[in-house]
Amino acid sequence: MTAVLTRRSEQLLAEPAPGDDEFRYLLKGAAMAPDHGRLRPWRWVLARDEALASAADALAAEAPSQDREQVRRKALRAPLRAFLVFAPRPGHKVPEWEQLAAGSTMAHALMLLLHARGYGSIWRTGRLCGSPALRELLGLAEGERLLGAVDIGTPVRTGPPTRRSAPELSGHLTVLTTR
Smallest distance from the beta carbon of 103 to ligand FMN, in angstroms?
Answer: 10
Smallest distance from the beta carbon of 41 to ligand FMN, in angstroms?
Answer: 16
Please list the alpha-helical segments (H only) found in 41-94. 49-62, 68-74
Size of the site for ligand FMN (CB under 6 A): 8
**Which is nearest to 114 in space by CA: 14, 25, 15?**
25
Smallest distance from the beta carbon of 178 to ligand FMN, in angstroms?
Answer: 36
CB-closest chain residue to ligand FMN: 9
* Phi (first) and psi of residue 86, to 5 degrees: -90, 125
Smallest distance from the beta carbon of 129 to ligand FMN, in angstroms?
Answer: 9
145 near ligand FMN, rule: CB under 6 A? no
Burial class (CB in 10 A: 0-12, 13-18, 19+), 54: middle
Paired with 155 in beta bridges are: 13
Q: Interacting stretch for ligand FMN, rule CB under 6 A, among 26-34, 67-75, 116-124, 137-145?
A: 116-124
CA distance 17 to 43: 19
Task: Using the minimum distance from each CB to ligand FMN, give the nearer residue, 8 or 89.
Answer: 8
Q: Interacting stretch for ligand FMN, rule CB under 6 A, among 20-28, 120-128, 150-158, 165-173?
A: 120-128
Residues numbered 122 to 141 that lie near ligand FMN (CB under 6 A) are 122-126
Smallest distance from the beta carbon of 104 to ligand FMN, in angstroms?
Answer: 7
Task: Using the minimum distance from each CB to ligand FMN, give the nearer residue, 8 or 36.
Answer: 8
For residue 39, count other CB atoms closer than 10 A to its CB.
16
Q: How many CA within 13 A on the CB side of residue 163? A: 3
Please list the alpha-helical segments (H only) found in the chain. 2-6, 20-30, 49-62, 68-74, 96-116, 132-138
Residues found near ligand FMN in the complex (CB under 6 A): 8-9, 122-126, 148
